[in-house]
Amino acid sequence: MKTKTTIISLLTASILAAGLFLLVIKQIPETKEVINTDSTVIAICPAKVLVEEKPLICTPPPVPHPAQAEAQTQKKTKAQVEVLSIVEDAAPIIAEEEIVCCEALVTTSSSDYYDQEINRNEYNQLAENKFRKVKNEPLSTFSIDVDAASYGTIRRYINEGQNPPADAVRVEELINYFSYSYEQPVGKDPVKITTEIGPCPWNKENRLVRIGLKAKEIPSENLPASNLVFLVDVSGSMYGPDRLGLVKSSLKLLINNLREEDCVAIVVYAGEAGVVLPSTSGSNKQKIREALDELTAGGSTAGGAGIQLAYDIARKNYIREGNNRVILCTDGDFNVGVSSSEGLERLVEKERKSGVFLTVLGYGMGNYKDNKMQVLAEKGNGNHAYIDNIQEANKTLVHEFGGTMYAVAKDVKLQIVFNPEQVQEYRLVGYESRLLNNKDFNDDTKDAGEMGAGHTVTAFYEIKPNNAPHTMQFAEPELLTIRLRYKAPYSDVSQLIENKLKANSSNKLSPDFYFASAVAMFGQMLRNSEYKGTGSYNQVISLAQSGLVNDRQGYKREFIRLVETINGLTAATNVYAH
């Protein structure tokens, strides 16, 4: 009886295994050859297999416990073992092949795919700065940040009727999108420090300290000769009018302002990198435009190879004491060769030592890799802007050409020394990705941000006074000391500037203070910050309207319209929720 039961069990197992094998073989899809945009052949599985049969194919059979497997093996014939072995080996292979097919569908899709499918934008997570006790941490050290990419990003979200994700909101970049009326530097230093203190608009118990930096201005006609390399991403993800189409229009605005002594080369990358235009004089504008017009999008993204080639071209045509710069135009979707954030960081850290600077211009939405763009800008002596329309391109590449393209100071660091007798706690608003160790301030090997000609940089500290918080009066006039270090563009030795801030609550606040604090409040509202206090969008609008001066280009009025839009969206969402 036992032998009969065993035979029946073995026969049953054989039948089940053979049936499962036939099912697996049946699911192997008939593939079609499709020519990719970079001339490679890929296999795409039929849609019905991907959707209907995926659970069966992608799930291999369970593997028995070793002890059970050994016992079962003793009861199986050689043929049965072979059948089961085939089933176990075939299922994972087929599952793996189907995953490859699915990836092929993703990597070869056009712009329409990224617009219609799930949101693939990527942003670095930010841990918001908290209050620090002065008695424990009297020093606060960070690198300046002149990037404005976050403002362009959140503007696009809002204009499309969406709330921007919190990690897309970098408060300091919102503030520094705007220029402020700070005093010009005089003497040998290319940067001047300005300070101001007033009530904190979102927490009346606290004070708000504004630290402003102004870089010296240089008329465009007096700027040194430029050696520029346009590095253009022409991979498949850059297909579309708001991607490669906008890149061409943007760079043509820049070309219009080139002088005879300036030169431009064009490097592109998709599956591989190549030179489209060798270094060409700015007097030959038509030739440069024609080279841009010939660019088309398609293929994978070998961004690392493109960056390396662009730096090679820039070094080959290096202008001593000139403006040597790579201008990268991309959505940041690197997927061939050096593509990780760590790999890109090592690449640009090595190349920045050559004296070639980097400007990163971001394009597109839906597959935008902001996190990789930030790495490139921060580690490559660079700056980062997001170009969502031709007006933003005009602002970045024409109106602010000197600030965007020509550095007057590099590795600019700030260290604030708080007086413990006057300040109990402080919090730096924004700059989470720019924080430095205190010892890094005097270390000239540590990288920091650059300032271009005419650039302004603003930083806010929210502070809690050490005495009489309700009257917000300070016993002594000296509140804090500001230390700034910078290097000349072609120097490796830093220079030190110091400035002291005396607390005076009776000072009349400038319009710039009101407007910049409104932008700071707005950023904290968008992030739903735990420190937003009593802040509201209506209060942001009121504060910003108090600071509407020097707005010839209309950027500040546009900001108010954005706040009104997000305020309306929020109100509509709240009504719908109830």
Identify whether the C-beta of residue 176 lies closer than 8 Å to the C-beta of residue 150.
no
The encoded tokens of residue 379 equal 């580690």
pLDDT at 119: 72
Strand 407-418 relative to strand 478-487: parallel, antiparallel, unpaired?
antiparallel
Question: Can you tell me the distance from the alpha carbon of 290 to that of 270, in angstroms, rounded to the nearest whole number?
Answer: 20
Question: Can you tell me the distance from the alpha carbon of 118 to that of 406, in angstroms, rounded to the nearest whole number?
Answer: 38
Burial environment of residue 130 by CB neighbours within 10 A (0 to 12, 13 to 18, 19 or more): exposed
Strand 139-143 relative to strand 191-199: parallel, antiparallel, unpaired?
unpaired
Identify whether the C-beta of residue 179 lies closer than 8 Å to the C-beta of residue 468.
no
**What's the pLDDT band for 16 if we cut at 50, 70, 90?**
low
Question: Can you tell me the distance from the alpha carbon of 501 to that of 463, in angstroms, rounded to the nearest whole number?
Answer: 13
Which residue is it, tokens 């020093």?
139
Per-residue model confidence as pLDDT tens digits over 311-353: 999 999 999 989 999 999 998 887 656 667 677 778 888 888 8
Which residue is it, tokens 């109990």?
424
Per-residue model confidence as pLDDT tens digits over 76-135: 444 444 434 433 444 433 333 332 332 222 233 333 333 433 578 899 999 999 999 999
Between the CA of residue 154 and those of 54, 112, 159, 271, 369, what are the distances in Å?
38, 22, 8, 31, 14
Per-residue model confidence as pLDDT tens digits over 290-301: 999 999 988 777
Judged by DSSP in three states, 232 sits in: strand
Between residues 401 and 27, the one the model is more confident about: 401
Q: What percentage of the chain reaches a pLDDT higher than 70?
A: 75
Identify whether the C-beta of residue 357 lies closer than 8 Å to the C-beta of residue 407.
yes
The encoded tokens of residue 57 equal 């194919």
Question: Can you tell me the distance from the alpha carbon of 6 to that of 406, in angstroms, rounded to the nearest whole number?
Answer: 84
| H-helix or E-strand spanning residue 511 | helix 511-526
Question: Can you tell me the distance from the alpha carbon of 188 to that of 143, in angstroms, rounded to the nearest whole number?
Answer: 22
Per-residue model confidence as pLDDT tens digits over 126-159: 999 999 999 999 999 999 988 999 999 999 999 9
Q: Tell me the residue type at 284.
A: N
Instruction: Answer yes or no: is pLDDT of 31 > 50.
Output: no
Judged by DSSP in three states, 178 sits in: coil
| H-helix or E-strand spanning residue 196 | strand 191-199
Between the CA of residue 419 and those of 119, 133, 198, 558, what are the distances in Å?
47, 11, 17, 39
Name the CA radius of gyration of the chain, rounded. 30
pTM equals 0.77
Question: 15-50: buried (b, 16+ CB within 10 Å) or exposed (e) per residue?
Answer: eebeebbeebeebebeeeeeebbbeeebebbeeebb
Q: Tell me the residue type at 5.
A: T
Q: Where are the alpha helices (DSSP H) in 482-554?
A: 511-526, 537-546
The encoded tokens of residue 548 equal 């509407």
Question: Can you tell me the distance from the alpha carbon of 548 to that of 205, in angstroms, rounded to the nearest whole number?
Answer: 26
Question: Can you tell me the distance from the alpha carbon of 500 to that of 296, in angstroms, rounded to the nearest whole number?
Answer: 55
Q: Is the C-alpha dihedral spanning 287, 293, 298, 304 positive or negative? A: positive
